[in-house]
């Protein structure tokens, strides 16, 4: 258990590309995959290695049943995008004394406990303030570890209309040693098929996941 860390799961977003599935006001958070809502799956995996999990959701957004103890943080900026949600989540995490946060979107139902554990371990054993997996050459900012004290600098990025990757690029430019990129060779040690990073953006993505049998969240 990583006692100085929390989990932040972003449940907001309109999910326009999944409109054909009739998700309703809950969006992807309520999408049922393998008999369990996506949001519940992600919270369970993250909560296996941190003592506190925060779900950041839009004001009024209905949510599925969640594991015991999961806390709900409501977006303070309507339609502000994932970075605004991340800002609110980090601020809430910091108020509870946490130093690090594993951040995930709610649409990665196969996220592995071992991946969360590995990334937090890298952050704890280094000087990095952001630890970012890189899959297919793309930084996975919404499956990463961030220092909770980045909430203040993220406010400026939100005001400027930036996205999550701008936070990584800005910190890397100012403090190169504060950003640690984790390549697929390390990630495959704990997730051979990199299933933790398979997100659901379209009906086709969901269909591909369902062909895998959708096992329960596991180590």
**Between the CA of residue 3 and those of 12, 50, 84, 137, 186, what are the distances in Å?**
26, 6, 25, 31, 23
**Averaged pLDDT score across all residues of the chain:** 87
Q: Cα(188)–Cα(174) distance, rounded to whole angstroms?
A: 30
Task: State the angle between helix axes of 151-159 and 81-95 in degrees (0 to 180), rounded to the nearest 10.
Answer: 160
Assign a CATH topology to domain 5-210.
Answer: Spore Coat Polysaccharide Biosynthesis Protein SpsA; Chain A (3.90.550)
- pLDDT category, 208, cuts 50, 70, 90? confident
pLDDT for the residue 55 = 96
Q: Confidence band (pLDDT; 50, 70, 90) for 24?
A: low
* pLDDT-derived band at 111, boundaries 50, 70, 90: very high
Q: Please give the model's pTM, rounded to 2 decimal places.
A: 0.89
The per-residue pLDDT for range 7-23, each reduced to its tens digit, is: 999 997 655 555 555 55
**Measured distance CA(3)–CA(210) in Å, rounded:** 34
Q: Is the pLDDT confidence value at 118 over 90?
A: yes
In Å, how far are 13, 59, 61, 152 from 79, measured between CA atoms?
8, 10, 12, 20
Cα dist from 69 to 163, 183, 217, 218, whole Å: 30, 33, 18, 20
Residue 52 has pLDDT above 90, yes or no: yes
Q: How many CB atoms lie within 10 A of CB 4?
A: 14
H helix runs in the chain, sequence order? 38-47, 81-95, 113-124, 151-159, 164-174, 184-187, 203-210
**Whole-angstrom Cα distance, residue 199 to residue 57?**
18
Cβ neighbors of 101 (< 8 A, separation 6 or more) are: 5, 6, 7, 8, 89, 90, 93, 145, 146, 147, 148
- Separation between Cα atoms, residue 123 and residue 55, nearest integer Å: 22
What pLDDT, on a 0 to 100 scale, did the predictor assign at position 60?
A: 86
Q: Give percent above pLDDT 70 in the chain.
A: 89
């Amino acid at each position: 258990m990583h006692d100085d860390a929390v989990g932040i799961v972003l449940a907001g977003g309109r999910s326009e590309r999944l409109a054909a599935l009739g998700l309703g006001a809950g969006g992807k958070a309520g999408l049922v995959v393998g008999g369990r809502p996506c949001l519940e799956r992600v919270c369970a995996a993250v909560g296996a290695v941190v003592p506190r999990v925060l779900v950041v959701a839009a004001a009024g957004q209905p949510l599925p049943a969640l594991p015991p103890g999961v806390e709900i943080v409501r977006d303070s900026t309507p339609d502000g995008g994932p970075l605004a949600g991340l800002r609110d989540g980090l601020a809430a995490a910091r108020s509870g004394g946490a130093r690090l946060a594993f951040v995930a979107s709610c649409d990665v139902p196969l996220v592995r406990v071992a991946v969360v554990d590995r990334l937090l371990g890298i952050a704890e054993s280094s000087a990095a303030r952001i630890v970012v997996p890189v899959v297919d050459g793309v930084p996975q900012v919404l499956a990463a570890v961030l220092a909770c004290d980045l909430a203040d600098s993220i406010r400026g990025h939100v005001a400027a209309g930036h996205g999550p990757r701008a936070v990584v690029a800005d910190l890397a430019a100012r403090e190169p040693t504060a950003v640690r990129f984790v390549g697929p060779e390390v990630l495959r040690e704990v997730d051979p098929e990199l299933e933790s990073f398979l997100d659901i953006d379209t009906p086709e993505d969901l269909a591909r996941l369902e062909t895998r049998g959708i096992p329960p969240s596991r180590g």
